[in-house]
Structure 1
């Protein structure tokens, strides 16, 4: 009958159709006597353990570029589960930050993760420091995201206000233009009427003189209204400029937050 052999760390498992034998390394008890561990296990327990080993998700940490530790390992001493040469990589985040390892070089599909660690596991003190540092990093990043969202909301409001001011400004400009054209047409029309009448000033009746006075007064009032409209347009232009400055200040704050995040990332990479 055929026999299947599988190897696990610190133990060897031999499975047959009728029995399963598990061999453990010898250990010493509290008195120092040498003895071996349990010698047998049911076939179902061994198969369950093997299934767990097979189904376990491979560890694929985020990595960072390192000029001193990069590229494919061509020595042939290390192979991934696909039978291919692994890649030299360095962990970027988490408790293993900065730790070197050989990892599966497969970019797409089923990447089998870490093949073998080069550096030993970091000491507890270093892991504790890394945990605190990454917590600070995540907190700062979340704060920057919140600030960016708040700034985006402010920017949206300012852009809406600028748009409204621009529309009002354009409306006042158009009204002023239409008003000036109307006044100009009225003046030309009145001058043409006077020329066509060709009446001597001495024979102009008093009511006609009153009409001329009223016309001049209306022209003066219209001129004042034009000046007021121009002042309003100038004020709206200043307000628009002020909103643009505020928008620029918010943009600068966003850029400063990005620089802070980059500086923190650079510290972590060191």
Structure 2
């Protein structure tokens, strides 16, 4: 099979090799590009004027070409791509029109990206700083809580000891009061 190439500089025609006819690519209807081309007057091997077609297959979709006007069974295999230079000129013109604004957009976006990266770096530093502060505060709170619990335990122990001591003193006081009462009773008897 013949490959459909864009290299149509030597001659704009493609022929079948080995006697097998070239299959015309699938086409679509284009009301602006159909029928016989009166301007170029390309003739196929049958001596018939070539008809205009618009390709609808593969990477050539949308490209215009001239091909044998007879049906596929008697197709002589002549295909001439019509719009290669025009297409390249249009693409180059569009490229020249679109490129400067896109370059400006890219520059602006690169500046924004740089600013966002700097802001992101600054925010990460702030987050790291806040995390360090949070860890330090957590350590301080934990240490204070531990110290408070230790102090509370110490005070509870001292209170218990004082309660025991007070209970001992109350017992001793009661004992002394009883002794004093006994002595008083003895003194009163006399």
Question: TM-score per shorter chain, which class?
Answer: 0.3 to 0.5
TM-score (norm 1): 0.31
TM-score (norm 2): 0.42
Q: Which structure would you say has the larger RCO, counting Cα contacts within 8 Å and 6 or more residues apart? A: 2
Q: Which has the larger radius of gyration?
A: 2
